[in-house]
Chains A and B, each alone.
Chain A
Amino acid sequence: MTLSLSVPDILVARAKTGDLEALEALYRAFETPVYHLARRICRTPEDAEDVLQETFLEVVKSIGQYRGEGHLWGWVRQIAASKALMRLRAEKLRATDELIDEAAGAPPPSVAAGIDLERALEQLSATSRAVVWLHDVEGFTHEEIAERMGRTVSFSKSQLARAHARLRRLLSPAVAGS
Chain B
Amino acid sequence: MHCTIEDLVALRDGEGSVWARRHVEECAECQAERERLYQRVAQLKALPALRPPRDRWHAIRDTVLAERSHRRQRWLRSGLAVAAALAGLVIVYSMVKAPAYADNLAQAKQQSAQLETVLHDYDSDSRVMSGREADLTAQLEDQIASLDGRLAQFGDSGVGEAQLVDLWRQRVDLMQQLMQVHVTRAKYVGL
- Using Cβ atoms and an 8 Å threshold, which residues of chain B touch A106? none
B9 touches A160 (CB 8 A): yes
Chain A residue nearest to B60 (CB atoms) is A56
Q: Helix, strand, loop or mixed for chain B's interface?
A: helix
B51 contacts chain A at the CB level, 8 A cutoff: yes
A60 contacts chain B at the CB level, 8 A cutoff: yes
A35 touches B50 (CB 8 A): yes
B64 touches A1 (CB 8 A): no
A32 touches B61 (CB 8 A): no
B28 contacts chain A at the CB level, 8 A cutoff: no
A49 touches B43 (CB 8 A): no
B61 touches A20 (CB 8 A): yes
Tell me the complex Cα distance, A45–B56, Å.
Answer: 13
B41 contacts chain A at the CB level, 8 A cutoff: yes
Tell me the complex Cα distance, A160–B10, Å.
Answer: 10
Chain B contact-residue range equals: 20 to 34
Interface string of B28-41 (1 = CB under 8 A from A): 00000000110011
A33 touches B49 (CB 8 A): yes
A165 contacts chain B at the CB level, 8 A cutoff: yes
Tell me the complex Cα distance, A1–B46, Å.
Answer: 5
User: Could you say which of B5, B44, B49, B53 contacts A117, with CB atoms under 8 Å apart?
Assistant: B44
B125 contacts chain A at the CB level, 8 A cutoff: no
- Using Cβ atoms and an 8 Å threshold, which residues of chain A touch B60? 27, 53, 56-57, 60
Tell me the complex Cα distance, A36–B57, Å.
Answer: 16
Tell me the complex Cα distance, A164–B10, Å.
Answer: 12
B6 contacts chain A at the CB level, 8 A cutoff: yes
Enumerate chain A interface residues (CB-CB to B < 8 A): 1, 3, 18, 20, 23-24, 27-28, 31-33, 35-36, 39-40, 45, 48-49, 52-53, 56-57, 60, 117-118, 121, 132-133, 136-137, 157-158, 160-161, 164-165, 167-168, 171-172
Enumerate chain B interface residues (CB-CB to A < 8 A): 4-6, 8-10, 36-37, 40-41, 43-54, 56-57, 59-61, 63-64, 68
Q: List 14 A-B contacts (CB under 8 A).
A: A18-B68, A24-B57, A32-B49, A32-B50, A32-B51, A32-B52, A35-B52, A48-B50, A48-B52, A53-B59, A53-B60, A56-B57, A164-B8, A168-B40
Closest A-B pairs by Cβ, 9 of them: A161-B6, A35-B52, A1-B49, A165-B5, A39-B50, A36-B50, A136-B41, A53-B56, A164-B5
